Amino acid sequence: MDRVSSFDEPLKKLLGGATAKVMAEHLDLHTVGDLLHHYPRRYEERGKLTALADLPLDEHVTVVAQVADARILTFNNGRGKRLEVTLTDGSGRLQLVFFGHGVHKPHKELLPGRQAMFAGKVSVFNRKMQLAHPTYQLLDASDADEATEAVDAFAGRLLPIYPACKQLDSWRIAKAVDAVLPSAQDAVDPLPASLREGRGFTPLPEALLKVHRPQTKADIEDAKARLKWDEAFVLQVALARRRYADTQLPAVARRPVADGLLDAFDAKLPFTLTEGQQKVSKEIFDDLATEHPMHRLLQGEVGSGKTMVALRAMLTVVDAGGQAAMLAPTEVLAQQHHRSITEMMGELAEGGMLGGSDRGTKVVLLTGSMGMAARRQALLDLVTGEAGIVIGTHALIEDKVQFHDLGLVVVDEQHRFGVEQRDALRSKGKQPPHLLVMTATPIPRTVAMTVFGDLETSVLDQLPAGRSPIASHVVPAKDKPHFLARAWERVREEVENGHQAYVVCPRIGDDAEEAEGKKGKAKKKAADEDPEKRPPLAVLEIADELRKGALAGLTVEVLHGRMHPDEKDDVMRRFAAGDVDVLVATTVIEVGVNVPNATAMVIMDADRFGVSQLHQLRGRVGRGSAPGLCLLVSEAHEASPARARLSAVAATLDGFELSRIDLEQRREGDVLGQAQSGVRSSLRMLTVIDDEEVIAAAREEAVAIVAADPELEHLPELRTVLAALLDKDREEYLDKG
């Protein structure tokens, strides 16, 4: 059998159809290689053999003993069954107990006189030592040597506990692994020999043996170090090759032009750019001036001035004869960007119009809900090149949309866009356009290197002058209802001082959601009995309650995603103009809404939001000169993880610190998300949050290797492993990244 094929062997050939089917359907394991990379989650120590007279309480022990007697007892009027087995080894006696469905097999096997090994945790019941549901292995009394060998193997071993499922327990997975373990010898080692030896790594076949069947704890550490490194390294090589390939693509260099649009814009600015903005702008301008496409991720706290940096890059591209497109995840955000960019540019955004600047350009908006006439005009302005800047939602990606010369694509809030959407917009340039991806969700360095490893990263970490601090507090509505009453008083005080407030709810609460009234009533009854089960608080209900109660007399309006775009726009305009005191909204306000006069935010059912989402929402207040206030209302129990999360948000305004906490709590599964599924499924041993050094070192090695040998011609094993990892879907994922 050649070296690759044994890893590709379907499991059903070796394990039989039924087991292979369960593995495929419930654990996504299809081949020998998949199973060998299904690593134990932890290891149980069975303990050395212990005499029955010396059993320590609460410890895992292994004993060899003879069955003295076994009997089935019933309880619960005959509905429950319990098997009690008494063991003896000459030094003492011990009771075993099995319950429920688990009594049948041991009742048949553990007959008086049989000798066996038993492993389990010692507990006390009715003043007697016992093992509940121990694992056991029968010993063949006729062959003393074999029995001794079996005892040694069973007792001294570290028992691997595998990620299992209801249909297949860890014990049976371990037996299946035993069947495929000889194939570990055929593992193709992706590491160049010099790297493996230089870093003192265990050879791969040995690492696989050690991770599945360790003799000692040192074996486990050895194996983990090697397998983590492989995952990080292979992934970083894939990303390094992607970056290298991008540097080989042609792009039109877009260099700043003296006395152009950018200079005119800078001259009008009423403030100076922060040092951070200047530094990041320089990185972007340097990229734009090269003849291969920029691929840059711009991370910045809410309100750190990312839009300003992106706009200056867009103006540079327009100066150089190209067009720039900004892609926003929602209509509200696209409209908001369009409004703030045209306001910042003033007459420079009215190129070709009466009263517009002769150095100006046209800035158009393109969204799905625009009227036909406005849409037709916008499409015409794009194809003729009349519009230098277009801001839109995914409507920009449609086939009908054509550009005169697309030079730069800016994607806002990357995590809301599928890779395909970014790709579709990029394909609209005559040559690949430059790409700037922006996110206000701070991403820990390791995740940035793993998920966005094909992008160079810029970070804006200082807030522009004039930003105010935000005080955050948790309001325990259930334990202390008077705190909630005080929260509404605080909102009223802010309004009386001439400011405005947001109230955020997780749900809209309109008829479409409550269509099945009976179900709603049943849910309400269940919720009254158990508050955990009640549906999240809704915008329409809370707005109604506030108008009639705590905030009576104030202007309270609602904003949510199911409103007509014109209606949404109207509410936002009136809120921005100060005609609305309190805006009760869903998370549509999470990104991009800028109302400096809004100083207070109350987030209802705050425990139903993620850490970074709470941080994003909070960033909507304190955008002017008055200090901000954010109140996180929760009915969660004081000792619950949900409350711990809220306390963490209240304790710090540092988004990078919070993103770390968020990642530690959720692990990386949902952080890497569905679009990143190719990357996720290849990470089995590596945890993005804990293995920062490994990822950083692997990236360095990968960059050096790809620079020296982009096609990996001298590293056929690494090429083979990459091909297996990057099957069609994952290759496409990286392609589109």
Band of pLDDT at residue 127, cut at 50, 70 and 90: confident
User: What is the spatial distance between Cα 726 and Cα 483, in angstroms, rounded to a whole number?
Assistant: 54
Digit-coded pLDDT (tens) for 75-98: 888 788 889 999 888 778 889 999
Band of pLDDT at residue 3, cut at 50, 70 and 90: very low
Bridge partners for 436 per DSSP: 296, 410
Band of pLDDT at residue 676, cut at 50, 70 and 90: very low
The two tokens of residue 283 are 């990185």
- Residue 603's CB is within 10 A of a number of other CB atoms, namely 27
The two tokens of residue 290 are 């090269």
The confidence score (pLDDT) of residue 727 equals 56
Residues contacting 171, CB < 8 A, separation 6+:
135
The confidence score (pLDDT) of residue 315 equals 95
The confidence score (pLDDT) of residue 511 equals 55
User: What is the spatial distance between Cα 42 and Cα 58, in angstroms, rounded to a whole number?
Assistant: 19
- 168 DSSP assignment: B
Digit-coded pLDDT (tens) for 593-646: 678 899 999 999 998 888 878 888 888 887 777 889 999 999 888 778 788 888
What is the H or E stretch that residue 44 is in? strand 42-45
Residues contacting 210, CB < 8 A, separation 6+:
202, 219, 220, 222, 223
To the nearest 10°, the Cα dihedral for 644, 647, 653, 658? Answer: 0
* pLDDT for 54 beyond 80: no
Band of pLDDT at residue 150, cut at 50, 70 and 90: low
The confidence score (pLDDT) of residue 124 equals 85
Percent of the chain's residues with pLDDT above 90: 25
Tokens 């010099």 locate to 194
The distance from CA 167 to its chain's CA centroid, rounded to whole angstroms, is 28
The confidence score (pLDDT) of residue 718 equals 87
The confidence score (pLDDT) of residue 488 equals 94
CA distances from 294 to 243, 381, 433, 435, 493 (A): 10, 25, 8, 6, 49
DSSP of 151-170, one letter per residue?
A: HHHHHHSEEEE---BTTB-H
DSSP three-state, residue 483: helix
* pLDDT for 255 beyond 50: yes
What is the H or E stretch that residue 225 is in? helix 217-248
Q: Say which amino acid occupies 617.
A: L
The gap between the terminal CA atoms of the chain, to the nearest Å, is 37
DSSP three-state, residue 354: coil
Question: Closest by alpha carbon to 190, among 229, 223, 224?
Answer: 229
The confidence score (pLDDT) of residue 115 equals 83
- Residue 683's CB is within 10 A of a number of other CB atoms, namely 19
User: What is the spatial distance between Cα 712 and Cα 723, in angstroms, rounded to a whole number?
Assistant: 12
* pLDDT for 101 beyond 70: yes
User: What is the pLDDT of the chain when averaged over all its residues?
Assistant: 81
Percent of the chain's residues with pLDDT above 70: 80
- 159 DSSP assignment: E
Digit-coded pLDDT (tens) for 511-562: 555 444 444 454 454 444 444 556 777 888 889 999 999 899 999 999 888 8
Digit-coded pLDDT (tens) for 480-508: 888 899 999 999 999 999 999 999 998 88
The two tokens of residue 272 are 């100076």
Using left for φ > 0, alpha for ψ between -120 and 50, and beta otherwise, residue 66 falls in: beta
Residue predicted with more confidence, 267 or 454: 267
Helices (H), 497-530: 517-529
Least confident of 28-32, 38-42, 453-457: 453-457
Band of pLDDT at residue 466, cut at 50, 70 and 90: low
